[in-house]
Amino acid sequence: MTRCVLVTGAAGFIGANFCHYWAKHHPADRLIGYDLLTYAGNPASVESLTRSGQLALIQGDIVDFDAVSAAFNQTQPDWIVNFAAESHVDRSIKDPRAFGRTNVLGTQVLMDAARELWGATPEPNKRFHHVSTDEVFGTLGPNDAPFSESTAYAPNSPYAASKAAADHFVRAYGRTYNFPYTLSNCSNNYGPYQFPEKLIPLCLLNILEGRRLPIYGDGQQVRDWLHVHDHCRAIDVILQTSPLGESFNVGGGTELANLTVIDQLCHIVDQAFLENPGLKQRFVRSPMANSVASRELIEFVRDRPGHDRRYAVNGDKLTQALGFSAQQNFAEGLTQTVHWYLGHEPWWRGVLDGSYRDWVREHYGDKAHTEPMA
């Protein structure tokens, strides 16, 4: 029988990449997207899939029990993969309430609706995978061991606290109701379709538009970088092979200071301009249009409140238990990402000028309630 996989947050960065990945690697599955289409949800990111009929995209709020239940009853998912969330730390500092609502209550609602659909004793082919973050573990000193699955939760931002709370609910539903879950805590993703509020796409598009590159504090905060395609592979492996009730850390094994990442990004963009003189005409405000190095745009700005100094992920459990390890080398992955954005200007222009919001309103109405941050 055909398996039905329902992906929440399917029009966001990782959800969209996951839908492309899934349609390619599991073409026999029925793929459903469920997404509120907030400022971060862009149907253009999955348009090729919706147009070809490989993905059915439903607009709905994960906090709305009746809407979730109706979508579940209509589509009868076997597997539910929960990416839907408010995902940006800076926004969570400005507006923490949206994060409690979507990330905590939304996760609970999804599980309650799944329990109603699957019954008290779900068939063995039913599972709910919850996508979480390494930020739940807090911050590390320079010599601390990387986060493992048994590291105590110590979230520092409202975003991290909301993700931690959701993880606790998922685990508690597993223990209390025998809810069929798996969970993953992943490090910083990069790659195609990422909304340009996050460090890499923000700085890349700022270079192309000749805007400053805002580096918080001293720029020596360390993150572990994972290509989004590796993240999709990791979730696939967990869904296919993990026993229920397990959680896994997913990392890229690439710890880098923010300033190093931005230096690499500037270098890759400068190289691209040297190799392709046409870029000077396309991006006239970019420093390289006047043969100035992109790193001249770097500007140190006020630090993020409560800024975590270092994240590092020990992914041994996933490697040893399920045989997964990240494959994408960071320098190559970042180069590919730069070229993806250079080759998809209409996609990011639509995001920057908000024209995709008009598209969303035209096709889906105006249910989404959050807007881009000024």
Active-site annotation holder among 159, 181, 311, 364: 159
Strands 55-59 and 246-250: unpaired
Instruction: Return the residue nearest ligand NAD (CB atom).
Output: 12
Q: How far is the CB of 224 from ligand DAU (least distance, A)?
A: 7
**Residue 159 known to be catalytic:** yes
State the residue for tokens 């997404």.
Answer: 35
Secondary structure (3-state) at 80: strand
| Complex with ligand DAU: residue 32 or 160, whichever CB lies closer | 160
Give the one entry of ligand NAD, ligand DAU, none that residue 38 binds, where binding means its C-beta sits below a cut-off of 5 to 8 angstroms depending on kind: ligand NAD
**Residue 135 known to be catalytic:** yes
Give the one entry of ligand NAD, ligand DAU, none that residue 342 binds, where binding means its C-beta sits below a cut-off of 5 to 8 angstroms depending on kind: none
Q: How far is the CB of 88 from ligand DAU (least distance, A)?
A: 5
**Residue 39 known to be catalytic:** no
Alpha carbon distance 31, 17 (integer Å): 13
| Interaction site with ligand NAD (CB under 6 A) | 8-9, 11-15, 35-38, 40-41, 61-63, 83-87, 102, 106, 131, 133, 163, 186, 188-189, 195
Q: How far is the CB of 314 from ligand NAD (least distance, A)?
A: 15
Q: How far is the CB of 114 from ligand DAU (least distance, A)?
A: 23
Secondary structure (3-state) at 318: helix
List CB contacts of 143: < 8 A, sequence separation 6 or more. none
Which candidate, 111, 7, 116, 13, places its Cα nearest to that of 60? 7
Q: How far is the CB of 318 from ligand DAU (least distance, A)?
A: 16
State the residue for tokens 């390890």.
Answer: 325
| Complex with ligand DAU: residue 75 or 133, whichever CB lies closer | 133
Cβ–Cβ < 8 Å for 111, 176: no
| Interaction site with ligand DAU (CB under 6 A) | 87-89, 133-135, 187-188, 198-199, 202, 214-216, 221, 223, 258, 304, 311
Give the one entry of ligand DAU, ligand NAD, none that residue 202 binds, where binding means its C-beta sits below a cut-off of 5 to 8 angstroms depending on kind: ligand DAU
Query: Which amino acid, 147?
Result: F
Percentages helix, strand, coil for the chain (3-state, rounded to 5) are 50, 15, 35
Alpha carbon distance 273, 266 (integer Å): 11
Instruction: Give all strands (DSSP E) within the chain, no chain letters.
Output: 4-8, 30-35, 55-59, 79-82, 127-133, 181-186, 188-190, 213-216, 222-227, 246-250, 255-257, 298-301
Give the one entry of ligand NAD, ligand DAU, none that residue 214 binds, where binding means its C-beta sits below a cut-off of 5 to 8 angstroms depending on kind: ligand DAU
| Complex with ligand DAU: residue 311 or 330, whichever CB lies closer | 311
| Complex with ligand DAU: residue 78 or 134, whichever CB lies closer | 134
* Catalytic residue numbers, as ranges: 134-135, 159
